[in-house]
Amino acid sequence: MKLLGKNALVTGSSRGIGRGCALELARAGANVAINYFSNQAEAESLAKEIEALGRKTVIFQGDVSHQAVIEKMIDDTAAALGSLDLFVSNAVYSDREVMLKANLEGFKRTIDVTMWGAFFGLRAASLKMVAQGKGGSIAIISSPHAVLAIPTAMAYNMAKAAIDHMSRTAALELAPHRIRVNIIHPGWIDTPGERKFFTEEQITEGAKGLPFGRLGQPEEIGKAVAFVLSDDAAYMTGSTITIDGGVSLPWWSNRESGQQ
């Protein structure tokens, strides 16, 4: 119960990694505000799971790429739960096309949600925590895309690289207020979002080639987020935790090039 008595907001938490984070925070004792964009039924299902754990929850529908929307969400979370102590920026959007052929509406949408949404959330949460005067902790769900130039994902790569640097800068600026900011790099995680880009067969076959022979699970990311938000990580800020089953190690590139 590392987070007992704390109040959190997780963006994009109706499914996938966000859902895993929300559940693990609740299991660690936190009350959790849920944000979703289009998956209302899944958000309501999550709320029931959180309440079954004995925690309080509220649900907010909203597009994090709109500054006013997320600022109101932060205010409403604090009003409903009593404070905002923890914030997890998770909501993303991504299209996959080579840059020369990319639909620029999708390209811009990826930047707006993944980068600007993270910034608006970080800023609004930080302002609320500063005003409360008791510190706080923030986790930014980023990606190995922040450092790997993965083809067909230029907008997503750009956005994730930006929020990594955003988070490290914020960690320094917020340190005097005792607000910590840390970054999480999940690897290939078994989420509904992956089905936008891959068939079930491709996911099954792709998983076999990973170092552990499987995809990661959302709750595995959630457990790491619960740790970095807790007082067990009280001296950690501006750090990046990679949870990718070894994909980013040299083993992966050597395997692909036939070097064993």
What total number of domains does the chain contain?
1
Structural domain boundaries enclosing 242: 7-193+218-247
203-254 tens-digit pLDDT: 777 778 788 888 889 999 999 999 999 999 999 999 999 998 888 876 555 5
pLDDT exceeds 70 at position 195: no
Q: Is residue 96 part of a domain?
A: yes
pLDDT range class, residue 259, cuts 50, 70, 90: very low
Does 77 have pLDDT greater than 60?
A: yes
Decide if 254 is inside a domain. Answer: no
Q: Which two tokens stand for residue 70?
A: 């997320």
pLDDT of residue 251: 59
How high is the mean pLDDT of the chain? 92
Q: What is the CATH classification number for the domain harbouring 44? A: 3.40.50.720
Residue-wise pLDDT tens digits, 5-34: 999 999 999 999 999 999 999 999 999 999
What is the pLDDT at residue 132?
98
Lowest mean pLDDT among 68-82, 141-155, 157-171, 183-197: 183-197
CA 130 to chain centre: 22
Q: Quick one: which of 66, 117, 91 has its CA closest to 193?
A: 91
Between CA 210 and CA 201 the distance in angstroms is 15
Judge whether 204 lies within some domain.
no
Q: Which of 39-43, 200-204, 236-240 has the lowest mean pLDDT?
A: 200-204
For 259, the token pair is: 């070097």
User: What local confidence, expressed as pLDDT, does residue 216 receive?
Assistant: 85
In a domain, 178, yes or no: yes
Note whether residue 203 is domain-resident. no
Quick check: is 175 in a domain? Answer: yes
Of 5, 58, 7, the C-alpha closest to 36 is 58
156 is catalytic: yes
Give a yes or no: residue 212 inside a domain.
no
3-class state of residue 49 by DSSP: helix
In a domain, 130, yes or no: yes
